[in-house]
Amino acid sequence: MKLAIQFPSEVEVITEEVARFRALSPADRLRSIRGLLAAGALMMRISPKADFLRNYTLEQENRARQAVKEFLARHAS
């Protein structure tokens, strides 16, 4: 079925968003990133699964830390 409306592809949308981000000043880029992090933190706080998300995040951080320790133990001279 051919629609009269053409929607942009995901690639086009991402390309436009990247161009907009790159056009920002360094301060505005940081502000944008901080805004995204704040929005994510808010979503985690108000989520009915907040405890799970907090525990999962800590578990993933601990696993990453342990993997680095094991890697260094195996490969450090």
Averaged confidence pLDDT in the chain: 92
Please state, in angstroms and as integers, the Cα–Cα distance from residue 63 to each residue in 12, 33, 40, 57, 67, following that order: 36, 25, 22, 10, 6
For residue 44, what pLDDT is reported? Answer: 85
Q: Give the mean pLDDT of 7-23.
A: 94
% of the chain with per-residue pLDDT over 90: 75
pLDDT category at 1 given cuts 50, 70, 90 is: low
The angle at the Cα of 48, spanning 42 to 49, to the nearest 5 degrees, equals: 90
Residue 22 has pLDDT above 70, yes or no: yes
More confident site: 42 or 44: 42
